[in-house]
Amino acid sequence: MNIGIVGLPNVGKSTIFNALAQTAKAEVANYPFCTIDPNVGIVNVPDPRLYEIARLEKSKKITPATIEFVDIAGLVKGASKGEGLGNQFLSHIRQVSAIAHVVRCFEDPDIVHVEGSIDPVRDAEIIELELILADLQTIERRLEKTAKLAKNDPKAKAELETLEKAKTLLENFKTLRPNLNLFSPEEKTFLEKVLCLLTVKPLMYIANISEDFLPEGKGNPYVAQLREKAQKEGTPLMVICGKIEQELVELTEEEKKEFLEALGLNEPGLHKLIRAGYKLLNLITFFTAGPKEARAWTIAKGTKAKEAAGEIHSDIERGFIAAEVINYTKYIEIGSFQKAKELGAVKLEGKDYVIEDGDIIYFRFNV
């Protein structure tokens, strides 16, 4: 499960990625297409609950959950027709699970804008249109093949209807994401997993601002414009100052704390961004803990206990007997897993128990 960072050239994608990955791996430069091959960063998910569990259980090792971000080169108008190496970059987007669209909401005469002016709604719509056109090409290619088969194949006929429905939306310049309620679960799977359509993928906007508008971009007219668009679409919006986030990475923990306080922030914006990305992918966290290690595990929302056990080891899933479970809130009230067991606060759950975010679990198994 990964998130692709996309946007026009020179909007701050690589700066934000560098801060996320805490590395200077992605080149930052004042010219388009300085990122050609996508850079990948595995990022720890900030979760204070894990450190509190480790403290109470006296765990020697702490292992956070992680999420993968992919820095994809800047798209330009005409990318769907191959402009600016567009086909190559669109193929990189096709491979990610969700999209974080960085939109420039800052002015800087030293950094050129590929469109010549700052206009976040126009910029967002340029990328949106290129993704729509790319999806339309995919649909049309598939239609040619399916239409021939549909005359004698009921399955192909059903697929043809799905394709036509998707094509109509795209031809009217509508992304498929907010219109997925028009498709059955099977049709959605086809659009997402078989065709890998770009406008089906979960999306969030990242408004990249200057430090003058911290916190949260208040008073920034560009953020206000983008927020209005995001609210109409039901798309999540994160406000971040990529330049400040990269500076924070270079500081010690003490310096970072002082810097954040001076800016009126209680945590780095990246922490919020990572958690928002986690939510965008519909992921939740469960914990395992003991004297050796406290660990956060990532699973999809709705995962059952037996499948969650498989995230730890296939042997635990295969030999699953039961799961001893207590949620974090109750656990904190009591103060330790062992004490919670003694008080009868730990529930014994079977294989069909649906894991909740914040569950602390001990799996019983026998291989």
Residue 184 and residue 153 in contact, taking contact as beta carbons nearer than 8 Å: no
For residues 250 and 311, state if they share a domain.
Answer: no
For residues 194 and 69, state if they share a domain.
Answer: yes
pLDDT score for 34: 38
- Does residue 295 lie in a domain region? no
Residue that is last in its domain, among 247, 279, 311: 279
Is 112 annotated to bind ligand? no
For residues 311 and 255, state if they share a domain.
Answer: no
For residues 67 and 182, state if they share a domain.
Answer: yes
Is 285 annotated to bind ligand? no
Count of domains observed in the chain: 2
Q: Print pLDDT tens along the chain (367 aa).
A: 789 988 888 888 888 888 887 753 444 433 333 344 567 888 888 899 999 999 999 999 999 998 888 887 666 566 456 544 445 567 778 889 999 999 999 988 888 777 788 999 999 999 899 889 989 989 999 998 888 888 888 888 999 999 999 999 999 999 999 999 999 999 999 999 999 999 999 999 999 999 888 888 889 999 999 999 999 999 999 999 999 998 998 888 899 999 999 888 888 888 999 899 999 999 999 999 999 999 999 999 999 999 999 999 999 999 999 999 999 999 999 999 999 999 999 999 999 999 999 999 999 999 8
Is 25 annotated to bind ligand? no
For residues 270 and 314, state if they share a domain.
Answer: no
The count of other CB atoms within 10 Å of the CB of residue 61 is 11
355: domain CATH number?
Answer: 3.10.20.30
For residues 275 and 307, state if they share a domain.
Answer: no
Is 12 annotated to bind ligand? yes
Note down the domain range covering 85: 2-279
Q: Return the exposure string of 227-242: e unless at least 16 CB atoms fall within 10 Å of the residue's CB, then b.
A: bebbeebebbbbbbbb
For residues 245 and 321, state if they share a domain.
Answer: no
For residues 68 and 153, state if they share a domain.
Answer: yes
For residues 224 and 309, state if they share a domain.
Answer: no
- Does residue 233 lie in a domain region? yes
Q: How far apart are CA 127 and CA 120, in angstroms?
A: 11
